[in-house]
Structure formats: C-alpha cells, structure tokens
Amino acid sequence: MSITGSFRELDRLIRFADRLRQPQFAEGLAKNLGQAALNQIDESFAGQKDPWDRPWKPSARAEATGGQTLRKTARLQRSMTSQSALKTDPQGFEIGTNVVYAATHQYGATITPQEKKALRFKAGKRWVTVTKVKIPARPFMPEPELSPRWEQALEEAVRAYLDKEIPSTTPTKP
C-alpha cells in the first residue's frame, strides 16, 4: 500500500506547529492578553465599576463636586493603564503600579490615628474630627478569580492573536 499526493499542506502545518514553540509566539500572545487586561482596567475606571460591573461606592469628593470617584487627578488610572504598567515575557504578563494608595482602593482600608486619639481633616469647607476613616474597596482588577467580563475580553484577545498569527487551515488549491 502506498500514499501519493501533495504534502504541501502538511508541511505548512508542521512549520506552523514549530512556530508555536518559539518564545516570540508566547510573548506576542502575552502582550495581546496584557493589553486586553489594561483595557479592562480602563473600563472599570471609566464606568466607575468593579470587574463584575458592580458600581463603586461614590467618594465624598465625587458626590460633593459632581466628579468621578478615583479620578480627581487620574494618577492611579494612568499608572494602571499605561504601557509602563505592563510587563510581558514568554510565560505571561504582569500589571503593576508604583502608586502607593492603589492597594487601599483595590481592597479597602480603615485609617486610624497612630499617635493621637482622633484624625482631623478638612471636608469641604469645615474641619472634622473622627476616630477612624473607612475607605471602601473599589476594585479595578479581578481577584481572586476572573470576572465574566474579563474572561470574555481575554478569550477575544487570544482569538484575535491566533487569527492574526495562524494561517488559515483551509487547504490550499494545488
């Protein structure tokens, strides 16, 4: 028994399979995924919502001025959505920031006085004295697991990358 014919398509698929093993392919995929994640973080800030699309509790400043929560200067948002926040390699991607209050807003916090009995600060036009301040969590990244919106965005990023990088598997005509 013998097989005859053109093995051109098989050769093409073998070359493509070899390409999948290259670190450049994996890093390109990581970059696509990372950019999709940056876009999702930006969407949370723009929509004032967490990764599960639940609205953030408005800040007192935003309510008083009609502004947006976590966007007085937009420093945190810019730090989390710029290309400098994204690190990639063939193993994956990482997003980070050097803004010290990022964790406070991601997880929430309670601020208590360290050396005095109370905290005193200006709120609007008057001074207030309190024993603690509770900052609610306003997550912009999904933890400990991906939200459906993030899952969909990352799946779309994988599909887009594969569509761009993988040649059509439709057999070519001889």
- pLDDT tens per residue, range 39-84: 999 999 999 999 999 999 999 889 989 999 999 999 999 999 999 9
- pLDDT grade for 3, boundaries at 50, 70 and 90: confident
The residues near 153 (Cβ < 8 Å, ≥ 6 apart) are 36, 37, 39, 40
pLDDT at 104: 97
E strand or H helix that includes residue 30 = helix 23-47
Residue bearing the bigger pLDDT, 15 or 113: 113
- pLDDT tens per residue, range 119-168: 999 887 899 999 999 999 999 999 999 999 999 999 999 999 998 987 66
pLDDT at 87: 97
Within the chain, strands assigned E span 86-89, 92-95, 109-111, 119-123, 126-130, 133-135
Handedness of CA 55, 94, 110, 114 (dihedral sign): negative
Rounded CA-CA distance 125/127 in Å is 7
- pLDDT tens per residue, range 89-123: 999 999 999 999 999 999 999 999 999 999 999 88
pLDDT at 89: 96
pLDDT at 75: 96
Rounded CA-CA distance 39/81 in Å is 7
pLDDT at 1: 75
Is the predicted pLDDT of residue 171 greater than 60, yes or no? no
Residue 64 corresponds to which tokens in the numbers above? 């008083």
Whole-prediction pTM: 0.84
